[in-house]
Every structure is written in C-alpha cells, then in structure tokens.
C-alpha cells in the first residue's frame, strides 16, 4: 500500500473495523467506510467518509469502491433476524466482491471465521465457506484471515459473560463446558489484517490467541477477575438455549443462538494452527477488571436499531 492510498473498510466504526481504521489513518491512508449506518457519528469524525452498503445497487456499490486499492471486508451477520438471513448475507458479500473487482480494487483482506466448512450444518460456517470460495474465484488478490473469537473493549461475548456473572446469582452453561475457546485480542487481529494488506500473495490463515481455555476455565477466570460468586449451572444444551432465550427478553437482545451453542460445543472456536495473537485474555481482563461486564453490549442495538 502506498502512502495516501484510498482504502475501503466495511464498518470502519465497528468493532474490528475501528482498530483496522486507526492503523490505516496512522499510516497516512485515506479511509472510506461502507456501512449499514452511514448517518451514525464516527469516532474518526470527518477523517473517514461513510457511504451506505448499497448491496442491491451494484453500480452505486462499484462507484463507492472506485479509487480504493484495498478492501478490508468485515461484513457478516451473527444470526438470522427478521428479513436478514445467511443466504442474503452471502449474496450481499458476493455483490461486494463483484463490485470490488469491477472498481479495480487490487486486494481484498477478508475476515472469515476459524473452521468454515462447505459441509457445515451451521449456516454461519457454511456461509463463510461460500464467501471464501467467491473470493478465491474472483480473480482479486486476497488475504483471508480466520479469527476464532475476538476480545477487546467493544466485544460482545466475553463482556456479556462478565455482565451476567456480575448481575445474576447463577450462570447457565450448555452441556459439560469442556469445549474450547481461543480468543484473540482485537488489536493483535487488526495488526495481522493490516500486515496482510502489504503483500500481493494470496493467503488463507487462522488468527487465534496464545491460549485455549475450556468454557469452564474461561468462566473461572472471569469470575475470579470480576470478583463475583455466581454459581455455574450445567444444563443440557436444549434447556440452556431455551433459558438463555428467555434471558434475552430481559436485556432486549438475542444473547446466544442455538447454532452458536452448537459451534461452541463442536470446538469450532479453536484453531489448529500456530497462534498469531500475543495478548493474553487474563492479562487484559485484569487491566479492565473494573469495567468489563459493567454494561450489557447488545447485538440488536448495534445492528438493528
């Protein structure tokens, strides 16, 4: 990337997008955000322009990518909700890839997920595999990075575990809790992504943190750090999901879906490659012990309101 290049980032003010954009601006790049919420105030003020996704208007979408040398693509959905389905998210991703090609973008740095699979019964993982294939077949130069689960100040999963542990006397765990998680720090992840934009070589790699926890170990760590005494209750997955759904009505959110529990229990949040992240979750949690989980982070508020 030459200095002063224009770089397109989906969701430049979003969770991972914000850390990618911070690095790009520090390198002297110009950044344009493609987003579902161009009207929202940006943490970057007028240093980053924002345009709507326009997935259903290919010419507009292509126009918004013209002049960009690299596209950082973080776009995806966590679960199907109302008229937003995984099939639609795949179609939108295909439209974005086609537009990048038509606009003359040189390279796409794409955020996927650890363990995507064409054969997965889980639409998140199957959809991610479909999008990866569309990128590999696009003719664009590509870097596909597959994170496990991200942590950082704006993350949802680790923060909300801490929130429920702080707020309620009991915490429900689906199944035996012996399945794994290998969280990567969002700043490490952004470094990996920005580094991957610097070459032309096609690459596909996992991005995982330095430690793997069982879910039980993760809960013990968070309980100890936020100093709470919530009891941990193991229930069969179906019952746990039903109760967590009920909990969602109290916080006005989709807290955890059946498919997410299946992915977790199938150990899909663990990488089988050498870890690339350096920051340890425990160290980060200790530094943020006073704030982590003090407020609920809502997926629906972030994307649907």
CB of 111 to ligand NAP, least distance (A): 4
CB of 236 to ligand NAP, least distance (A): 25
CB of 68 to ligand NAP, least distance (A): 15
Select 107 or 146, whichever has its Cβ closest to ligand NAP. 146
Cα–Cα distance, 291 to 159 (Å, whole number): 9
243-282: string of b/e by CB count within 10 Å (b at 16+)?
ebeeebeebebbbbbbbbbbbbbebbbbbeeebbbebebe
CB of 95 to ligand NAP, least distance (A): 13
Select 84 or 173, whichever has its Cβ closest to ligand NAP. 84
Task: Give the up-direction half-sphere exposure of residue 37: CA atoms within 13 A in the CB hemisphere.
Answer: 13
The beta-strand segments (E) located in 193-269 are 203-207, 213-214, 231-235
- Give 246-255 contacts, CB < 8 A, sequence gap 24+: 247/164, 251/296, 251/298, 252/298, 252/300, 252/301, 253/296, 253/298, 253/299, 253/300, 253/301, 254/78, 254/79, 254/81, 254/299, 254/300, 255/160
Select 147 or 277, whichever has its Cβ closest to ligand NAP. 147
CB of 34 to ligand NAP, least distance (A): 7
CB of 119 to ligand NAP, least distance (A): 19
Select 77 or 230, whichever has its Cβ closest to ligand NAP. 77
Select 157 or 172, whichever has its Cβ closest to ligand NAP. 157
Select 11 or 277, whichever has its Cβ closest to ligand NAP. 11
CB of 239 to ligand NAP, least distance (A): 25
Cα–Cα distance, 143 to 79 (Å, whole number): 25
Select 14 or 293, whichever has its Cβ closest to ligand NAP. 14
Point out which residues bind ligand NAP (CB under 6 A).
Answer: 10-11, 14-17, 35-37, 74-77, 84, 111, 113, 147, 149-150, 155, 157, 302-303
Instruction: Tell me the β-bridge partners of 71.
Output: 8, 108
Signed CA dihedral, 117, 128, 240, 171: sign only: positive
């Amino acid at each position: 990337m030459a200095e002063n290049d224009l770089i397109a980032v989906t969701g430049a003010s979003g969770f991972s997008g914000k850390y990618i954009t911070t690095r790009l601006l520090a390198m002297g790049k110009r950044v344009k955000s493609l987003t579902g919420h161009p009207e929202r105030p940006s943490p970057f003020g007028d240093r980053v322009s924002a345009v709507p996704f326009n997935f259903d208007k290919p010419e507009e979408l292509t126009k918004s990518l013209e002049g960009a040398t690299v596209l950082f693509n973080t776009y995806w959905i966590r679960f199907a909700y109302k008229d937003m389905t995984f099939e639609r998210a795949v179609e939108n991703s295909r439209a974005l890839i086609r537009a990048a090609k038509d606009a003359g973008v040189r390279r796409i740095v794409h955020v996927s997920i650890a363990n995507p699979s064409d054969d997965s019964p889980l639409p998140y993982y199957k959809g991610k595999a479909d999008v990866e294939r569309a990128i590999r077949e696009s003719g664009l130069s590509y870097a596909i990075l597959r994170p496990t689960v991200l942590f950082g100040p704006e993350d949802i999963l680790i923060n909300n575990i801490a929130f429920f542990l702080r707020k309620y006397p009991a915490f429900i765990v689906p199944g035996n809790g012996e399945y794994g998680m290998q969280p990567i720090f969002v700043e490490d992840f952004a470094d990996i992504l920005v580094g991957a934009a610097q070459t032309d070589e096609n690459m596909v790699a996992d991005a995982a943190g330095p430690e793997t926890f069982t879910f039980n170990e993760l809960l013990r760590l968070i309980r100890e750090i936020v100093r709470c005494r919530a009891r941990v209750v193991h229930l069969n997955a179906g019952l746990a999901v039903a109760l967590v759904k009920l909990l969602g009505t109290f916080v006005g959110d989709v807290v955890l879906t059946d498919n997410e529990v299946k992915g977790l229990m199938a150990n899909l949040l663990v990488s089988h490659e050498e870890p690339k992240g350096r920051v340890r979750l425990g160290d980060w949690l200790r530094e943020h012990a006073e704030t982590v989980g003090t407020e609920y982070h809502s997926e629906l508020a972030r994307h649907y309101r």
